[in-house]
Every structure is written in C-alpha cells, then in structure tokens.
Amino acid sequence: MSTQTIVIGQPCKTKKLVPIKFNQLLNLYLKFIPNNGYLSTDFKFIELICKHYCSTPEDGWQDLMFVYDDPTDRESGVLLVGKWNDGVVE
C-alpha cells in the first residue's frame, strides 16, 4: 500500500529524511490518548492540518494530522497529533 501525504494548500514534497510520527489520537470523547500503534504506513492518505498545533513537555510542538484510506469515506478517518517532520512515510 502506498501512502500519499498532503499539506493543505501546498504541493506535496516527496523526498525528505525524517518520517512522520504519530504520538496521540483524538478519541470519541474528544480527548487525546496515546497512539495505540498506528504507523504512517497504515494509511493511504495523511493530511497535515496544522503545523505546531499544540505543545507537550515531553515532545515539544505537535502537528495535527488527519489520516484515512478511502477519499470517498473520509468519515472513517482519524485525527492524530505527532510530528509531521519532513512529511515522508517509512
């Protein structure tokens, strides 16, 4: 499965060094909880919604991302915070 990364309002950059990392996900109660093992390779699409969305003492600035597999079924996607880094998938 190939994953496409998207920066809202900007063209994709395809060749960088530091991969995307997910740290937390937004649950149904609108609380961020620890990531239960999601990897960037688990999804076909990763959208960077907001760079430097929030900050934590452990990880510093966190970026807000929306991930999903089917562009016709975006409601099955997940909101995650982590490090967009260079926007590449490993």
Instruction: Judge whether 88 lies within some domain.
Output: no
The structural domain count of the chain equals 1
Domain that holds residue 19: 4-83
Instruction: Judge whether 67 lies within some domain.
Output: yes
Instruction: Judge whether 89 lies within some domain.
Output: no
Q: Quick one: which of 56, 61, 48, 49 has its CA closest to 16?
A: 48
Q: Alpha-carbon distance 2 to 41, whole Å?
A: 8
Quote the DSSP letter at residue 44.
S
Q: State pLDDT tens for residues 29-62.
A: 999 999 989 999 999 999 999 999 998 888 899 9
pLDDT of residue 14: 52
Instruction: Judge whether 11 lies within some domain.
Output: yes
How many residues would you count in the chain? 90
- Is pTM beyond 0.85 here? no
Instruction: Judge whether 27 lies within some domain.
Output: yes
